[in-house]
Structure 1
Amino acid sequence: MSTVSKVVLGVSLVFTLGTVTGVHLKQNLDRERLHEGVIRDLERQARKRENLRQLEEQISLTKELETEREKRAAGTQT
């Protein structure tokens, strides 16, 4: 085997291994990014549920306050 063919073979092997390694690393990064997206979505859904719960609680408290004000206003008028 000539020196040129050995060099070409070596360069080909290095290029191939580099490509395979690069693709593998890219796949791992993409997989991690997708997983992080799922986690962010779950956190966003939990925050949304908490915000809705707080909103419902606020609506309930507002109704109670309005009822109290109406009772006081009715008591003051008589």
Structure 2
Amino acid sequence: MSAVSKVVLGVTVVLSVGTVAGVHIQQSRLRERLREGVARDIERQQRKEDNLRLLQEQIALTKQLELERDRMLTAKGPQH
């Protein structure tokens, strides 16, 4: 085997191993990003549920406050 053939074979092996390693690393990163995306989606859904719960609580409190205000106004009677 000539020196040029050995160099070509070596370069080819190094490039092949580098390509395979690069693909595996890229797939690992992609899998990790997908897992993080799922975790972010779950967190986003929980925040949305919390926000809806808080909104419903505020609506209920507003209605209660308006009822109390209306009772106070009717209890005082007309002010002329």
Match of 1:3 in 2: 3
User: Over residues 6-40 of structure 1, what are the superposed CA-to-partner deviations in whole Å (9 max), with x where a residue is unaligned?
Assistant: 11111100000000000110011111111111111
Cα distance, 1:5 vs structure 2? 1.0
Q: In the alignment, residue 10 of structure 1 is paired with which amino acid?
A: G
TM-score between the two structures when normalised by the length of structure 2: 0.93
Structure 1: gaps spanning 5 or more residues: none
Identity of aligned pairs, percent? 59
Q: CA RMSD in A?
A: 1.0
TM-score between the two structures when normalised by the length of structure 1: 0.96
Q: In the alignment, residue 55 of structure 1 is paired with which amino acid?
A: L
Task: Give 3-state SS (helix, strand or coil) of 1:70's partner.
Answer: helix
1:69 aligns with 2:69: yes
Aligned pairs, how many? Answer: 78
Q: In the alignment, residue 56 of structure 1 is paired with which amino acid?
A: Q
